[in-house]
Chains A and B, each alone.
Chain A
């Protein structure tokens, strides 16, 4: 798997890289005494977080206001559509309007009819609820 000659060549290349980099390496003391990377100070972090929170609140409030405006406009439009009546509606009105919409059926009095409901089980002739006294 490992070819010693190829490995030696690679080592040679890496050695050259090492030589070049060694000449550019800063001293140990320079690194140790170097000012460290700037750390995020607590106050800065707090301000950053507060700013981000305020921006988020403003964004949400803005979005809600905008959405409310859109909903209001949509509602008005829907109302207008619902209330709209075609001016030619009258032409479509039939003269039969006002007549019973259903055909009469036994036992059911057509709505608005002056006649009573026809009951096929009832005795024929005039009926009286007054009973004759027993003899």
Chain B
């Protein structure tokens, strides 16, 4: 793929890639932005090459996931969390919603976000990929680097648990 094509592909997938990076970084925006920047750099400089074995989107998600993992491993050396915490306290969270988002949507988003927090990492990841990113279970398995059968098990169990959590919340 040419650089121009790659850039266009990245720009097209950018909102979803950011949402996925956010999941891979446990909701930390600064880390997600760093991971996504590193993933883009890796792709645009040719250190990560798209071989066409899967869709561009699936491949991009795989690169983002691996980059976020590597970044997390390097984190202890850089003491980046401390730096960010200090910076975050002084510069504000920057998570204001636009007026276009309704209160109901915000509440629902918060509700699903809280329920997802209580699932295992694998279940959370696969449910995000299937429901939020609208990938198939097979594609999600490719992104997560696991057999389809395992992915399906995580998917079914995660879905059942998520439903229980949401129903339990409704009864309260």
> In the complex where A24-B95, A31-B14 touch, is A10 in contact with B109 (Cβ < 8 A)?
no
> In the complex where A24-B97, A37-B38 touch, is A19 in contact with B109 (Cβ < 8 A)?
yes
Contact with B along A7-29 (1 / 0, CB 8 A): 10011111011111111111110
Contact with B106, one of A14, A20, A31 (Cβ below 8 angstroms) = A20
Instruction: Count contacts between A and B, CB distance < 8 Å.
Output: 96
> In the complex where A17-B109, A31-B33, A31-B36 touch, is A10 in contact with B159 (Cβ < 8 A)?
yes
- On whether the beta carbons of A20 and B109 are closer than 8 Å, the reply is yes
A36 interface residue per 8 A CB criterion = yes
Number of interface residues of B (CB under 8 A): 44
A131 interface residue per 8 A CB criterion = no
Contact with B77, one of A1, A17, A34, A40 (Cβ below 8 angstroms) = A40
CA distance A39 to B75 in the complex (A): 10
Number of interface residues of A (CB under 8 A): 30
Residues of A within 8 A of B (CB): 1-2, 6-7, 10-14, 16-28, 31-32, 34, 36-40
18 A-B residue pairs with Cβ-Cβ distance under 8 Å, sorted by A, are A10-B127, A10-B159, A11-B131, A14-B132, A16-B112, A20-B97, A21-B18, A22-B15, A23-B98, A24-B97, A25-B18, A26-B33, A28-B11, A31-B36, A32-B40, A37-B71, A38-B78, A40-B77
Residues of B within 8 A of A (CB): 10-11, 14-15, 18-19, 22, 33-34, 36-38, 40-41, 44, 71, 74, 77-78, 80, 83, 95-98, 100-101, 104-106, 108-109, 111-113, 127-128, 131-132, 156, 159, 162-163, 166
